[in-house]
A and B are shown apart, each in its own frame.
Chain A
């Protein structure tokens, strides 16, 4: 009887082990979606984040790269990228350097000239703009 229990327990462990490996190696990496809305975010204005990257890019990289930022700014334009995903540009104090955001989903923003919105997204770095990917609009 005890021996039988032991065999059952071992079998169960093996099955659980396989399930765990399957889940963490095969299932989760291709199905997990980063919880942009739920993650703690660095709250900043579009003007300030551009200034931080312009003043000291490596310091700003350390602070922001791959983190979720919650950015508020005035909308300059809303467009679509080559795959049809919506993009939005938030204004800074420098006309040549803004915050460029690619949003999730396919909803095109209804942008009123000069309206102010808040987005959340992952900071990927600084080209001519501060670039944000995987964005969601939290306040229109």
Chain B
């Protein structure tokens, strides 16, 4: 009898582990780009050292270092990191933590591009805001990739340099592409 109870107990534990086990996909070399366009100037920069983790249950995070953004133009990079814009000495990181709300629609076993919606908190320059973004989870030969493009308003994050609104646009387009392992 005791043995039977023990076996049933053991079985329940195993089933539970099976139900709650989640796969974690991660990368340290995700890519995030941003793009600003005005009549005067186009500005873009890329960061290829983005840390990202995603579970098959839909939990997702991205973290990057502001100083990891590389510009074609060194002077722009200095201004970007400087006190009028990102103040990256004081605020070295940006981070998004959230959930993909419709992860159940993604079939990880079948190749395809699945539209998803992510929502969570985006922290830039020490300021955290709710942010939602549409994107894709792309499954290709068992490899998993996330993609998204969304816009943020610079003033939401307290970025108020004098060139914003003239040389630099008020809204910045962010593009995310991360291949997971």
By beta carbon, the residue of chain B nearest A28 is B74
- What is the number of contacts between chain A and chain B, taking CB atoms within 8 Å? 70
Give Cα A27 to B66, complex, Å: 25
Give Cα A81 to B30, complex, Å: 8
Judged by a CB distance under 8 angstroms, whether A128 is at the interface is: yes
Judged by a CB distance under 8 angstroms, whether B151 is at the interface is: no
Q: A6-14, A82-90, A110-118: which one contacts chain B?
A: A82-90
Within the complex, the shortest CB–CB distance from A39 to chain B, in Å, comes to 14
Judged by a CB distance under 8 angstroms, whether B92 is at the interface is: yes
Whether the Cβ atoms of A129 and B28 lie closer than 8 Å is yes
Given the interface pairs A29-B76, A131-B49, the reply to whether A82 lies near B30 with Cβ below 8 Å is: yes
Whether the Cβ atoms of B67 and A66 lie closer than 8 Å is yes
Give Cα A32 to B30, complex, Å: 26
Q: Which of B29, B72, B74, B88 contacts A87 (CB 8 A)?
A: B29
User: Chain A at the B interface: mostly helix, strand, loop or mixed?
Assistant: mixed
Which of chain A's residues have a CB closer than 8 A to the CB of B177?
82
CB-CB contacts of B18-31 with A at 8 A, as 1s and 0s? 00000000001111
Whether the Cβ atoms of A83 and B65 lie closer than 8 Å is no
Number of A positions contacting B (CB below 8 A): 27
Residues 62-76 of B at the A interface (beta carbon under 8 Å) = 63-68, 70, 72-76
Within the complex, the shortest CB–CB distance from B131 to chain A, in Å, comes to 19
Q: Which of B48, B66, B89, B92 contacts A85 (CB 8 A)?
A: B48
Whether the Cβ atoms of A29 and B67 lie closer than 8 Å is no
Whether the Cβ atoms of B179 and A65 lie closer than 8 Å is no
Judged by a CB distance under 8 angstroms, whether B121 is at the interface is: no
Give Cα A66 to B63, complex, Å: 18
Give Cα A134 to B53, complex, Å: 24
Whether the Cβ atoms of B74 and A131 lie closer than 8 Å is no
Q: Which of A65, A80, A83, A127 contacts B51 (CB 8 A)?
A: A127
Whether the Cβ atoms of A127 and B48 lie closer than 8 Å is no
Judged by a CB distance under 8 angstroms, whether A30 is at the interface is: yes
Judged by a CB distance under 8 angstroms, whether B125 is at the interface is: no
Given the interface pairs A100-B49, A125-B67, A127-B65, the reply to whether A29 lies near B73 with Cβ below 8 Å is: yes
By beta carbon, the residue of chain B nearest A33 is B74
Judged by a CB distance under 8 angstroms, whether B57 is at the interface is: no
Judged by a CB distance under 8 angstroms, whether B93 is at the interface is: yes
By beta carbon, the residue of chain B nearest A132 is B49
Residues 8-42 of A at the B interface (beta carbon under 8 Å) = 25, 28-30, 32
29 A-B residue pairs with CB within 8 Å: A30-B72, A30-B73, A30-B74, A32-B74, A61-B89, A61-B92, A65-B88, A65-B89, A66-B81, A79-B29, A81-B48, A82-B29, A82-B48, A83-B31, A83-B48, A87-B29, A102-B48, A124-B68, A125-B65, A125-B67, A125-B68, A126-B92, A127-B28, A127-B51, A127-B64, A127-B65, A127-B93, A131-B49, A133-B68
The 7 closest A-B pairs by CB, nearest first: A81-B29, A29-B75, A125-B65, A124-B67, A125-B92, A124-B65, A124-B68
